[in-house]
A and B are shown apart, each in its own frame.
Chain A
Amino acid sequence: MKVTLKIWRQKNSSDKGQFVKYPVDNVDAEMSILECLDVLNESLILRGEIPVAFEHDCREGICGSCGFVINGIPHGPERATTACQLTMRHFKDGEEITLEPWRAKAFPPVKDLVVNRRALDHIIEAGGYISVATGQAPEANGIPVGKVIADQSMDAAACIGCGACVAACPNAAAALFTGAKITHLGVLPQGEPERDRRALAMVAQMNVEGFGNCGNIGECSAACPKEISLDVIARMNQDYLCGSIKRRDDLPTPISPDLAEA
């Protein structure tokens, strides 16, 4: 089949950027959309043009590197599918497919389809962990964790940190991402001692990074390739509220939201 890729081209963060259309022939239905971009890039290189920059690594839907907006939807039209796993059989012969980067204040553009997502690391850095140093751990079966709780934790822990939820949100909020980590750790007995502080610290960081406020619209969860449920946001709000009451005098200070390249 043949398609036309209408791609956002932007040389660097200060360039204005614009859409450019590229016809791609010899598209195979079994290719992923990233492989379709590979094919385009090979031909651009041979024509002496600059290939399209996009992030990717595992190409198995697990590392969270890839991701751009495809025909208006982060990661494209397929449910629970990352861009790297989206095959061309979901498009029609002759279709024009629009590709553009995540757009959010907290994700400054880098080049073409690549944006800087370091703000998500900062949210984890602020408190997305259990403070246990190497060697301090008790015997693993010492604290039983019921299967239901373990599954609930795993459901939330499946987040790959891709940022699609932010891109899908009209307010560019990072509530689904943050709530997922708060839930993953907070439901486990091991994560309980730091539960309040974790929620306070991570939410505070989310706010200084320039993410918007959650308006409970739900676009995030619909776009999430790992189908993280909106319940995690409810849990985040609950933990935050409890934390603010209990620890009013001990609020963590956010770290600097510096995104400059090292």
Chain B
Amino acid sequence: MKLDAKIPSGPIEEAWSKACFDMKLVNPANKRKHSIIVVGSGLAGGSAAASLGELGYNVKCFCFQDTPRRAHSIAAQGGINAAKNYPNDGESVFRLFYDTVKGGDFRAREANVYRLAQNSTKIIDQCVAQGVPFAREYGGSLANRSFGGAQVSRTFYARGQTGQQLLLGAYQALERQIRAGTVKMIAKTEMLDLIVIDGQARGIVTRHLVTGKYSIHIADAVILATGGYGNVFYLSTNAKGSNASAIWRAHKRGALFANPCFTQIHPTCIPVSGDYQSKLTLMSESLRNDGRIWVPKKKGDARPPNQIPEDERDYYLERRYPSFGNLVPRDVASRNAKTLCDEGYGVGKSGLGVYLDFSESINRLGEKVIRERYGNLFDMYQRITDEDPYKVPMRIFPAVHYVMGGLWVDYELQSTIPGLFVLGEANFSDHGANRLGASALMQGLSDGYFIIPNTIGNYLATHKFAKVEDSHPAVQQAVTEVKSRIDTLLSIKGKRTVDSFHRELGKILWDYCGMARTAEGLTLAIQKIRTLREEYWKNVTVPGSGDDLNESLEKAGRVADFFELAELMCIDALHRNESCGGHFREEYQTPDGEAQRDDEHFSYVAAWGYTGPGAAPELTKEPLEFHYVHPSQRSYK
């Protein structure tokens, strides 16, 4: 297969407007005759469904929560980037573009990233007009702060609840369209398969999570905005319901999966405290603006942090990266914490933690200022750990947070299945091998508000849509497969719970496909995953029936997909014989332990095709070309 990314020719600054001009338009009177399915109501899906409804399309939007307002985007804390340059500190569209390409360790598509930086400013305008209460200065103008990996202040925020406020903006726009009758919202419903007819995506099969009812939904185009799959690791900062099922089923129906192994491990999360632990809690990266990260200079130093004198502390990020200090990108910060803990410098009961210390900022700025900036995060920390971060340094450790991998899409956000578009974290995205802080929210909203409304029109205007009956063999086959999978899961009646398998799978991935990877470890991991998957299909137990609310059953289907995805992640990580961004292969590092890219052999997007159960996936490469940002060894020294 040859991949055509449809990158417009000509100067990058004009690429998007040129592409928009070249796209065919749908006549306003015809828009309501076109039906569009949007799966997901997060920042990407919610903004897309609302904007498409406003244009007059006939939209159906789905989510698995009881209301679209609870999509996982709600949990984003820190902020959203935009090249507004309000602080007059040297920011520009080009700088945001440059930082994102470099931060992604030169594994993203330049044209996409440039467009993202261009759209960023319009996003802020749109959100303010919707009533998003961003932080303001006393004079009434919008406030900004800097965020990991950036030396300019380009991040807009709403206290520590930026994702919540942006999502409520999109949700309210969506509710307005529901009221207007252009969007039909179908909540508590899970997409379980994609319907592909004559090579085009034409619908989905769903199960209602309360009634257990299966339904067929037919449309002219399908948009997946179902979020990230970090939960494949079991423990992550993602919401419990976040899953890969929608994109995985689409993958099995022909959509290529790009860079599955590119995972982001976030440096500042609350360390694990016990086996019962169900998820990990993020402490926003913005804390690194005022907190200093350190470990004791002496291995295994058990003294309480306040009793360790200044000169016996190692502020290792400031020491190793004097120009970025505590603000190095996430992959660098996480890897350093892991290395030190592996060497025995870690703190806390488990030794898996480093200090994030605010005492200096509190002395300099006063407790009031710190409380104003981070009050809710400090409260959350105290609630969980029972320690007061105003007095004792926080303990933090890296945790799985975000996935840069996802379904492959072209410049128009269309997957390799015509009519199937993928937005937000679910696509392989604009972040290369490492995402900079505060840019996922930006990407989700850019995709949903400003890109898809243009590109989907081009698809609809240039294709024909025959009427599809529910009795169509492809539809019936999809329904039968969905039902039989669920019936199988219910009928195994083995001895282990879904969660126990999920935990074990997550542990394998964390150990071998986490912050540091080796060929040997990955090969072993693939074996372990296969063995565990076999056991799963023989020994899992799912209580209850498929006719009512049954969370164990929902989880069982998701974990079954995680098993297959986990294997592909390891295959991808094993094939990429280089280190880049969050993908760190121990065999490939610079003498001082930084990621060593191999541009000659790996400057491409790895897009994997499904070839059948148990069969080896097929690799297609999309070569990456850099005309504006010259690939160099990333340095934050």
Contact = CB atoms under 8 A, between A and B. Distances in A.
A261 B189 CA distance: 10
A214 interface: no
A46 B129 contact: no
A130 B172 CA distance: 8
Identify the interface centre among A117, A133, A144, A160: most chain B CB within 10 Å of its CB: A133
Contacts of A261: 188, 208, 210-211, 213
Contacts of B70: 57-58, 63-65, 161
A179 to B, nearest CB: 15
A216 to B, nearest CB: 26
Interface in B90-145: 122, 124-131, 133-142
Contacts of A45: 497, 541, 543, 552
Contact of B136 (A78, A120, A145, A190): A145
Interface in A50-83: 50-51, 53, 55-65, 78, 80-81
B66 A62 contact: no
Given A38-B278, A58-B75, A190-B128, A146 B136 contact: yes
Contacts of B273: 28, 30
A201 B175 CA distance: 13
A140 B169 CA distance: 15
B165 A121 contact: no
B499 to A, nearest CB: 6
A221 interface: no
A178 interface: no
B69 A53 contact: no
A53 B549 contact: yes
Interface in A26-50: 28, 30-32, 34-35, 38-39, 42, 44-46, 48-50
Interface residues on chain B, size class: 35 or more
Nearest to A64: B70
A258 B122 CA distance: 37
A158 interface: yes
Contacts of A125: 175-176, 178-179
Interface string A99-139: 00000000000110010111011001111111111111111
Interface stretch (B30-38, B378-386, B626-634): B378-386
B298 interface: no
A39 to B, nearest CB: 6
A154 interface: yes
Contacts of B66: 55, 65, 116-118
Nearest to B542: A45
Contacts of B68: 121
Contacts of A124: 69, 171-172, 175
Nearest to B76: A62
Interface in B496-515: 497, 499-500
A249 B138 CA distance: 40
A122 to B, nearest CB: 9
A45 B379 CA distance: 35
Interface stretch (B156-164, B410-418, B462-470, B586-594): B156-164
Contact of B274 (A30, A46, A85, A184): A30
Given A87-B384, A118-B66, A154-B133, A137 B128 contact: yes
A31 B277 CA distance: 7
A261 B213 CA distance: 10
Contacts of A116: 66
25 contacts: A30-B386, A48-B543, A59-B279, A64-B74, A78-B383, A85-B384, A118-B187, A121-B68, A127-B179, A133-B51, A134-B47, A135-B122, A139-B125, A140-B84, A140-B129, A140-B142, A141-B86, A144-B141, A145-B140, A150-B135, A154-B133, A157-B158, A161-B67, A261-B210, A262-B208
Sorted nearest first, the 6 A-B pairs with minimum C-beta distance are A144-B140, A129-B172, A137-B129, A137-B125, A154-B133, A150-B136
